[in-house]
Structure 1
């Protein structure tokens, strides 16, 4: 039975390109074949800013949107965050979504597909890794970074740069290894 991979679109801004980058990565992950894949768009979840009274570690959720998000994260064995870089940081909507929960993330690996301008979103990746590690996740060192993402989108379709498919395959291989290794800690 394949492990469950949630691919999460981290930007909710109007005019975002995250869905087209995510769609490419979903196809790359399907071609890889190691995971049962779910695509999650934070825009569809529409999570308010930290609106639960109890700390997330207590898992005493009052709101249906948090319960729904908790179930999605709990069900997944691994994650890939598809994220831009906003002001040298991960998007606020993504940080909020991660911080809404606590225990659901534990002992699960995570990869990052980042995109942006000259940095390709790498600073966003670094800040996200720090947050994830503090939630007892295992953020992978391998990632996919796309510089000057606008050059790779034509009529809403993302065409990856030459290095991206190989980087995606490497990250997915590592994600598969870590998902299997960490599964015993979750049982």
Structure 2
């Protein structure tokens, strides 16, 4: 069965992302077409780009990078839950992406973003990053406004249209993850 990781892309104290990622996971877990697992970046503390070689070379020197690589390699696609900080994604999510290369290749990615304007600019930045990592980002995106879907900017209360958008996003991530399976298999065979 296809495995989809839901990456919680914020480690800040009092982060709104935990509520959002839990909501995504709760809705996704009701589906029968894939297995969904929450990946909290707090559980994977990665120093800022501390590997001596570029990730494209695949020679990870540090145990934390090898553990992160094994975790990411086990999934077929991802839903990235991202805040918008200064018109971009969080530094911790960017660093987690930059630590690896081949483990991201030929996998689907969908984006659930939140911020004053729904985090749309963070998701657009992630599309560029994922393209460089040879990931296929899906067209549907979920944008959650701090103004309308968070009471007092902190208590998450998703609107009905956001639930519908998430269902479509999950459909697309599962479909693309399934469609990309032959490419992942070919890459793994070539690496052996």
Q: Under TM normalisation by the shorter chain, which class is it? A: over 0.9
The whole-number CA distance in structure 2 between the counterparts of 1:64 and 1:149 is 41
TM-score of the superposition, structure 2-length normalised? 0.91
Question: Residue 163 of structure 1 aligns to a residue in which SS?
Answer: helix
Quote the offset at 1:152 in angstroms. Answer: 2.7
Equivalent of residue 127 in structure 1, options 125, 128, 134: 125
Matching residue of 1:136: 134
Equivalent of residue 168 in structure 2, options 167, 170, 180: 170
TM-score of the superposition, structure 1-length normalised? 0.93
8 Å CA contact retained: 2:5, 2:38: yes
RMSD between superposed Cα atoms in Å: 1.5
The whole-number CA distance in structure 2 between the counterparts of 1:33 and 1:26 is 13
CA offsets per residue over residues 103-160 of structure 1, 9 Å max, x none? 100000000000111x100000000010001111001111111012685358x76331
Structure 2 unaligned regions, length at least 5: 186-192
Quote the offset at 1:169 in angstroms. Answer: 0.6
Quote the offset at 1:72 in angstroms. Answer: 1.0
Matching residue of 1:76: 75
Matching residue of 1:146: 144
The whole-number CA distance in structure 2 between the counterparts of 1:113 and 1:63 is 30
The whole-number CA distance in structure 2 between the counterparts of 1:176 and 1:85 is 25
Matching residue of 2:49: 50
Given the superposition, is the C-alpha separation of residues 157 and 35 from structure 1 closer, same or farther in structure 2, using an over 3 Å criterion? farther
8 Å CA contact retained: 1:146, 1:164: yes
User: Runs (4+) of structure 1 moved beyond 4 Å?
Assistant: none
The whole-number CA distance in structure 1 between the counterparts of 2:53 and 2:146 is 41
The whole-number CA distance in structure 2 between the counterparts of 1:18 and 1:149 is 15
